[in-house]
Homo-oligomer: A and B are copies of this chain.
Amino acid sequence: MSGSTYGKLFRITTWGESHGSGVGAVIDGCPAGLPLNETDIQKFLDRRKPGQSKYTTKRNESDTVEILSGIFEGMTTGTPISVLVRNQDQRSRDYGNIATLYRPGHADYPFTEKYGIRDYRGGGRSSGRETIGRVAAGAVASKLLNELGVRVCAYTKSVGPYTVPTEEYRYSEIPENSLYMPNNAVAEQAGEYISSLMAEKDSCGGIVECIADGLPVGLGEPVFDKLDALLAQAVMSIGAVKGVEIGDGFSASASRGSINNDPFYMDHGAVCKRSNHAGGTLGGMSDGSRLILRAAIKPTSSISRTQQTVNTSGEDTDITVLGRHDPVIVPRAVVVVESMTAITLADLLLQNMGAKMEHIRKIYLQ
């Protein structure tokens, strides 16, 4: 059915397949009066573009965005912002052999069962190209958040077994290595690991971490639409993500209350916390400290090794997935996680506008 829309007030709808005419998104509900142009969006898209390092697919797609609506004289007008990216280097011949085979780890089998029909040219709707719409929307959400002093930043915490421990983070190094890790030395080791996997026609996954600073207190709705719950949906809805955690996450399950509770104290008139095991949320609402989330990303499913599978006629067979695939999608997923986080925060910022009569009087009675 209709599951291509995300968000309640800041609401995005993505569309498009890997081998159709293009992909895009409609961003509805962006407030009027936000300065915005194509460069703002292109900068985000360039971060997920293929072909940027030896660890990403060699497909050549410029992914140039066109804004079709919603902007007038460099400002948002409050009407839907429609963005379009044409597909280019499709080479659909590479995918001919998968028309009748179900690729392990891919959506081919449930897609066929669910719809009775499948666009077998590449991943179709389940392709990573679907994230282009998300990233374009994330650029808009980030622009909005920046205006309010909120900064969202994602990076690669681990690649396969290579992890940067929190105490060794050097944020300034993130843009210095092609894996977007906050530590160049670990990134170099991870890069060698990826190279060895490529030689073995294998692939790996990793963990993306995302932080947000400057959030007002109280974002998130206390029951089903908790800040952490919506972030979990947003991030888990990205193709290869298999787990999401906030703050100490799974580690918290082995901790104790006396350690895990973050004590409050006053600092220059502000309520602060002495630790941040919670990762910035209490009761599903932002608590004024840094938001921290992590997404577990599985190894790329497309590997060139021969694998066992079945075909659409229900026979056992082998498959060798051709085409040019990323040995690890983690570095390209960084901006997608950052985008989904920004979109969720922008939506909750808008939802929070009417939380109390004091806000409402401030807008309507003056």
Interface check A351, CB cutoff 8 A: yes
Q: A358 contacts B254, CB within 8 Å?
A: no
Q: Which of B77, B278, B362 contacts A125 (CB 8 A)?
A: B77
B118 and A77 form a contact (CB under 8 A): yes
Q: Which residues does chain B contribute within 8 Å of A258, judged by CB atoms?
A: 200-203, 303, 305, 307
CA distance A295 to B282 in the complex (A): 17
User: Which residues of the other chain, B, contact A144 by a CB distance below 8 angstroms?
Assistant: 357, 360
Return chain B residues, CB-CB under 8 Å to A281.
110
Decide if A148 touches B365 in the complex (CB within 8 Å). Answer: yes
| B364:A148 contact, CB within 8 angstroms | yes
- Write the A17-32 contact mask toward B (1 if CB under 8 angstroms, else 0): 1001111101011011
Residue of B nearest to A7 (CB): B2
Closest Cβ–Cβ distance, residue A88 to chain B (whole Å)? 14
CB-CB under 8 A for A252 and B221, given A1-B350, A356-B116, A360-B353: no
Q: List 9 A-B contacts (CB under 8 A).
A: A1-B221, A5-B13, A21-B69, A31-B355, A79-B119, A148-B365, A226-B237, A243-B253, A257-B303
Q: Is the CB of A79 within 8 A of B15?
A: yes
A52-60, A181-189, A308-316: which lies at the interface: A308-316
Provide the bound-state CA to CA distance between A260 and B308, in Å.
13
Query: Which residues in B have their C-beta under 8 angstroms from that of A226?
Result: 3, 236-237
State how many copies of this chain the complex holds.
Answer: 4
A242 touches B249 (CB 8 A): yes
From A205, which residue of chain B is reached at the shortest CB distance?
B253
Q: Say which residue of B77, B217, B245, B360 sits within 8 Å of A109 (CB atoms).
A: B217
The answer to whether A264 and B308 have CB atoms under 8 Å apart is: yes
The docked-state distance in angstroms from the alpha carbon of A355 to that of B113 is 10
A102 contacts B264, C-beta separation under 8 Å: yes
Known: A107-B222, A244-B232. A354 touches B31 (CB 8 A): yes
Specify which of B2, B72, B203, B244 is in contact with A28 (CB 8 Å cutoff): B2
Beyond the given pairs A203-B258, A349-B354, 13 more chain A to chain B contacts, judged by CB atoms under 8 angstroms and listed by A's residue number, are A4-B79, A31-B354, A33-B356, A105-B278, A107-B284, A114-B352, A126-B222, A255-B299, A265-B309, A349-B360, A353-B353, A362-B362, A363-B363
Contact B250 A250 (CB under 8 A): yes
Are A250 and B256 touching (Cβ within 8 A)? no
Judged by a CB distance under 8 angstroms, whether A124 is at the interface is yes
**Does A261 interact with chain B (Cβ within 8 Å)?**
yes
Q: When chains A and B are docked, how far (Å) is the Cα of A130 from the Cα of B261?
A: 22
